[in-house]
Chain A
Amino acid sequence: MTTPGRSASIWFFIGISLLVNGVLILGAGLYEYAHPPAPELQVVLFRLHSGVWWGGLLTLLGGFYTWHYAPSRARD
């Protein structure tokens, strides 16, 4: 849905949310990958580095939504 007159879609807000969260999670995941905590402090299945790939996925999805539903594109 687009709000007429201001051209900001709800999907744009969702894109922003996923993008920001994705970047933060990816960054935190990469930091843990480079500086792993002591084994007794790691989450279960730490070796899968879920923060890296999940954060990456969210960043890609959020980036696409933000770009595709950006108000500037909607006006075009």
Chain B
Amino acid sequence: MNLALVVSGSSSLVHLHTVDMVIVVFYFALVLAIGVYLKGRANTGEDFFMAGREMTAWVAGLSFLSANLGALELMGWAGSAYQYGILATHWYWIGAIPAMLFLALVMMPFYYISKTHSVPGYLKLRFGEPARALSAVSFAFMTVLMSGVNMFAMAKVMQIVLGWDINFSIWVSSLTVAVYVTLGGLRSAIFNEVLQFFLIWAGALLIPILGLYEAGGWGNLKILIAQRASEQYVHLWAGLGHFSTNPMGIHWTGIVFGLGAVISMGYWTTDFLVVQRILAAKDIRSAEMAPIIGAGFKMLVPIIVILPGLLGLGLLPMKLVPESVATVTHGYSYNDVLPLMLARYCGPGLLGLGVTALIAGFMSGMAGNVSAFTTVWTYDIYRPLINSKGSDHHYVNMGRWTTIIGVLISVGTAYLVMRSASIMDYVQALFSFFIAPLFGTVVLGMLWKRATNAGGFWGLLCGTLSSVSMWTWVKIDPTALRYVALSPDAKVLAQDMYQALWSFLVCVIVTVVVSLAGKPQPDSALAGLVYGETQIPSVGDVPLYQKPLFWAAIVGIIFVVLNIIFW
């Protein structure tokens, strides 16, 4: 067994060598150096909050993807792959790719030409101040909670993997993020996200390579998994005909309509954390290409997240259990699968890079949340509701202070999250509360010019309240799951899919009814905001291979082929 892997009798999974520590320390030094280096480039509001709107398609696209490569991606989904099998891949393919392409080709032109600073900013232009205020406040709330989740997950993995004190991990990572985002603003966050993208691949790619070598290839791994769990663990769609014939307890309608059509559309097209990266693109072609580039790489991420989970299921000698059981039995939980696989294959140096990749993922997720929170607070809450007469310099200073305060709130949230039994359930619940109804409001706003200000506001409010109500109902009475998720066999993730679907429908229905009952808005007020009243800007006279539509078609074809291969 591994020199570094301490199977029992110790408080940590691995022991870092000197070279590993040098690699970790070098990472912290480099991100802080980047923050200091970029300080001189964050003096105006456009620089600090929007990175000067000068990012290339590649930088914006990789940053767009990396902002999502946080705690959930690395540990949570590897653990979910161990728990649910290859079904977890749906969150990367149908749960991301169609939405990213939709963002690129349909929604991005409106975000871009409206020159909004944020998604709530678009709602202000389209539906007025009440819709913006509701969206901004709910986003700010969700963002700091998400940031706390990231921070807690990071500290937890450092405790499990390295035996580091959980408080030490929280404060070191949060202070580092606070320093580099405060100094360099969004540009600093984007730089570090792209850096993190490379570190994650460099640090994590060895696990699937060596794991598949050890297993004897994908074919043998499937046999191992079938022996240790079930054949259904290696099929994407074959077991989704009924709730009880797959490990997740979900029906294909939940995956297609709940995840693919609502949750992922909501997350990838209206969550300002990721959309902010695209708004920083230098021109409309870059803004459209960035999500397509992100989609191309998103399809590859299961190699370093899902595959290690499946390899753990097929190869690890010990059986992993839910977090709640592991706490009692002092065993290993599903969330430990990635560090366990890291310790299995990585010697000195490689181990340090793998740990650095984890830390980078956590910190980048936190930085993404903090920079988005800062922008929404400053532009969508502070400026319109508290002080509308400040100078640009004043708002930049407010942004810097908000960064620090946002980090401190996140720290507080991390301590709060420690009491929660399941990180995944917690975050999924949050998505369902806010993201699904918001998507309904934004997409109706962009595609249906008859939607009115009152319709947008009441649709968003009722959709959010319906989601919270369903979640609370199931919490109070677990048997209510059979109504919300359409089956008593449904698991938590299935509940989230249907909850999102219903809240989206509530939002859409209320928006439509209220809008039709009200007076239409004049066409002149909708110019640049709605299809039919907007001149969609051209990407220019470029060759076919530079057109976003061409690359979107390529990505779409690969997406379909992958789903068929792993059917």
A residues sitting closer than 8 Å to B (CB atoms) are: 1, 3, 6, 8, 10, 13-14, 16-18, 20-21, 24-29, 31-32, 37, 40-46, 48, 50-51, 54-55, 58
Whether the pair A21, B23 counts as a contact (CB closer than 8 A) is: yes
Q: In the complex the two chains form, what is the Cα distance from A43 to B352 in whole Å? A: 14
Stretch from B85-93, B192-200, B325-333, B478-486 at the A interface: B192-200
Cβ-closest chain A residue relative to B62: A10
- Distance in Å: Cβ of A24 to nearest Cβ of chain B: 5
- Distance in Å: Cβ of A65 to nearest Cβ of chain B: 9
Q: In the complex the two chains form, what is the Cα distance from A32 to B194 in whole Å? A: 31
B37 within 8 A of A: yes
Interface string of B30-64 (1 = CB under 8 A from A): 10001001101100000000000011100100000
Q: In the complex the two chains form, what is the Cα distance from A17 to B347 in whole Å? A: 19
List residues of chain A with CB within 8 A of the CB of B198.
Answer: 14, 17-18
- Distance in Å: Cβ of A22 to nearest Cβ of chain B: 8
List residues of chain B with CB within 8 A of the CB of A13.
Answer: 30, 34, 191, 195
Residue of A46, A50, A58 with most chain B CB atoms under a 10 A cut-off: A50
Whether the pair A28, B19 counts as a contact (CB closer than 8 A) is: yes
Whether the pair A40, B1 counts as a contact (CB closer than 8 A) is: yes
Cβ-closest chain B residue relative to A20: B26
List residues of chain A with CB within 8 A of the CB of B344.
Answer: 43-44
Interface string of B1-41 (1 = CB under 8 A from A): 11111000000000001010011001100100010011011
Whether the pair B194, A24 counts as a contact (CB closer than 8 A) is: no
B214 within 8 A of A: yes
List residues of chain A with CB within 8 A of the CB of B37.
Answer: 6, 8
Interface string of B189-220 (1 = CB under 8 A from A): 00100110011001000100010011000000
From A8, A10, A50, B195 is in contact (CB under 8 Å) with A10
Q: In the complex the two chains form, what is the Cα distance from A16 to B27 in whole Å? A: 11
From B202, B345, B346, A58 is in contact (CB under 8 Å) with B202
- Distance in Å: Cβ of B190 to nearest Cβ of chain A: 8
B residues sitting closer than 8 Å to A (CB atoms) are: 1-5, 17, 19, 22-23, 26-27, 30, 34, 37-38, 40-41, 54-56, 59, 191, 194-195, 198-199, 202, 206, 210, 213-214, 343-350, 352-353, 356
List residues of chain B with CB within 8 A of the CB of A55.
Answer: 349-350
- Distance in Å: Cβ of A44 to nearest Cβ of chain B: 5
List residues of chain A with CB within 8 A of the CB of B23.
Answer: 21, 24-25
Whether the pair B191, A10 counts as a contact (CB closer than 8 A) is: yes
Q: In the complex the two chains form, what is the Cα distance from A55 to B5 in whole Å? A: 21
Q: A14-B194, A17-B30, A25-B350 are in contact. List 15 more A-B contacts (CB 8 A).
A: A3-B41, A8-B37, A13-B34, A21-B202, A21-B356, A24-B26, A32-B348, A40-B1, A43-B3, A43-B5, A44-B2, A44-B214, A44-B345, A45-B210, A58-B202
List residues of chain A with CB within 8 A of the CB of B1.
Answer: 40-41, 44
Whether the pair A45, B38 counts as a contact (CB closer than 8 A) is: no
Please name 16 pairs of A and B residues whose Cβ atoms are closer than 8 Å in the assembled complex, sorted by A: A1-B54, A17-B26, A17-B30, A21-B26, A21-B353, A25-B23, A27-B349, A28-B348, A28-B350, A43-B4, A43-B5, A44-B1, A45-B345, A48-B213, A50-B350, A54-B206
Whether the pair A24, B345 counts as a contact (CB closer than 8 A) is: no
Q: In the complex the two chains form, what is the Cα distance from A58 to B2 in whole Å? A: 23
List residues of chain A with CB within 8 A of the CB of B195.
Answer: 10, 13-14, 17
List residues of chain A with CB within 8 A of the CB of B191.
Answer: 10, 13
Q: Knowing A41-B2, A43-B2 touch, does A10 contact B59 (C-beta < 8 A)?
A: yes
Q: Knowing A17-B199, A48-B210 touch, does A29 contact B30 (C-beta < 8 A)?
A: no
Whether the pair A1, B348 counts as a contact (CB closer than 8 A) is: no
Q: Which 7 pairs, one residue from A and one from B, show the smallest C-beta to C-beta distance?
A: A28-B349, A25-B349, A41-B3, A28-B348, A28-B19, A43-B2, A1-B59
List residues of chain B with CB within 8 A of the CB of A18.
Answer: 198, 202
Whether the pair B59, A50 counts as a contact (CB closer than 8 A) is: no
- Distance in Å: Cβ of A3 to nearest Cβ of chain B: 6
List residues of chain B with CB within 8 A of the CB of A42.
Answer: 2-3, 347
From A1, A16, A24, A29, B347 is in contact (CB under 8 Å) with A29
Q: In the complex the two chains form, what is the Cα distance from A46 to B344 in whole Å? A: 10
List residues of chain B with CB within 8 A of the CB of A26.
Answer: 349
From B27, B41, B213, B347, A43 is in contact (CB under 8 Å) with B347
Q: In the complex the two chains form, what is the Cα distance from A19 to B313 in whole Å? A: 34
